[in-house]
Structure 1
């Protein structure tokens, strides 16, 4: 795989948030080169644009989960808004804002001082009550260097008997969901990257992975039928939602951390991913969530997506090399 590949050239003809990941994950560029490109996320393109919407107190939209001007009718009529602090931080993590930068350090400190969860008024970095939210908060906090160990301890104690998580547990659910589980797994993986984790968090991550693997990432355990056809359609940004590409990208990152070989039970999802590649070598965006955003970062459903293509190519590259 070289820069002369037209798909690689198309990916590089993009935003720094994508370019640095192409350089690292697809071109094996030396670390100083992709780190220099990554540093541009703060000052150019989508990263700089998202940072420009930040409030003086470090938040986005004046609140933690829903923008301060939110009216419940908006959710019913337009969909969930994505402009408040929690989703903005997650997007900066996806873009790759350097967590060691002064801007990142100042941001997470201000968020810690000023953001409060609407659910109970607790400080942002103490987490909320819902597993999906807490999983993303752990991922963001660990990435940006915050001590989120108390939320991790809570999440490890909230596993269900089948090994995963469900944000409806508090309402009586006893069966894990794919979406809740991937949100928590991503958080625990980021925590393990930054701290090596704890025996409890590593064991919880293992059982969560097994929940997905024994279902081939998308099937019901009892019937073998797809749990949700949407899991096979590619989405970006994922926000809290699940699809098999998100799961495959997680398992890639997990295996790279431990130097493990790909689990064969990922094979069916890999086959589906290959089948969705377009003739020009790209992958399309199948759908995106409704609701208010700061700005669009894809060309729309049905169009080739640089984000989907980047993730698909690095997953397949990992699978094809490691599975030999």
Structure 2
């Protein structure tokens, strides 16, 4: 199979990344494809679903009317913004959205204002990234991560319930947010130190194993699925270190786990996706070759191999 041709035959949200990161196309090519994300395919469909008040599905993290009697839905504002940002939609397409969310959107937790964040590390990380993208004032959230890092180096979304031990899920999402903050603003000395400490927490465990027992760090660490959403996997974590350009030797075992999952035709297979409402499907069912996973895994391996 011509892997690049297969990957190019995709929605613009995926295709522009293939052109830039795998095919080595000039900026004039992939930037033109990226611009199409807002006008066709997945991106255009999500943009058309925005509520007049700037939200999606009438809520910040959960859709309006959510009662907790169904799996986590993936349609509300934060999840939709995550997708649009990750797909490369230019912030100018969403002009005015940051202001409308500041005026109309409140977190389900304690009715807190949207751009102030709340108490969940993962939610705050996504809000930090989305605010940086849309031009909102999220300096307070960046400082929040410095103040709420746990003594073992990472973060845990259940700190508010009294947890004092970090979670790899929470820590990975937190360092992603802090890296985006550094990239966009230059960051602060304290925020950079917090990010590096969180990365060290993950590296000490080689992205794979508990320090205490050597057992898998979380169930499904080697089962890759797309969309990734909140989930920690070896691929999701390795992709962060690629973005940070930190090829630490302690990544080697996780990298080889990713490499071993590659099929003979060069693709990676979709694992089981999260249940829950979606606006529409953006990837294949479990067991089928996933273009999103193949892009991500190939990009990680290319980076690692090039860095020696």
Structure 1 and Structure 2 fold alike (TM over 0.5): yes
| Cα deviation, residue 229, structure 1 | 3.0
* Cα RMSD (Å): 1.2
Q: Which of 28, 46, 66 is equivalent to 2:42?
A: 46
| Cα deviation, residue 32, structure 1 | 2.5
1:144 corresponding residue in structure 2? 134
| Cα deviation, residue 122, structure 1 | 2.0
Instruction: For residue 157 of structure 2, give the secondary structure of its aligned residue in structure 1.
Output: coil
Gap runs ≥5 in structure 2: none
Q: Which of 51, 67, 77 is equivalent to 1:85?
A: 77
1:20 corresponding residue in structure 2? 16
Q: Which of 269, 278, 295 is equivalent to 1:310?
A: 295
1:106 corresponding residue in structure 2? 96
Name whichever of 28-37 and 126-135 sits farther off: 28-37
1:71 corresponding residue in structure 2? 67
| Cα deviation, residue 293, structure 1 | 0.5
Deviations 1:285-308 (A, max 9, x none): 112111000001111111110110
CA contact 1:166–1:181 (8 Å) conserved in 2: yes
Deviations 1:101-123 (A, max 9, x none): 2x222323322221111112222
1:245 corresponding residue in structure 2? 235
| Cα deviation, residue 95, structure 1 | 1.0
1:182 corresponding residue in structure 2? 172
Count of paired positions: 308
2:58 corresponding residue in structure 1? 62
| Cα deviation, residue 228, structure 1 | 1.9
| Cα deviation, residue 72, structure 1 | 2.2
Deviations 1:43-67 (A, max 9, x none): 0110001111111111000010111
TM-score (norm 2): 0.97
Q: How does 1:160-175 map to 2 (within 5 A)?
A: 160-175=150-165
Q: Distance in 2 between matches of 1:71 and 1:254?
A: 38
Q: Distance in 2 between matches of 1:72 and 1:274?
A: 38
2:2 corresponding residue in structure 1? 6
Q: Distance in 2 between matches of 1:147 and 1:245?
A: 31
Q: How does 1:257-296 map to 2 (within 5 A)?
A: 260=246, 262-296=247-281
CA contact 1:143–1:191 (8 Å) conserved in 2: no
Query: Given the alignment of the two structures, is residue 132 of structure 1 paired with residue 128 of structure 2, yes or no?
Result: no
Deviations 1:66-88 (A, max 9, x none): 111212222xxxx1111110101
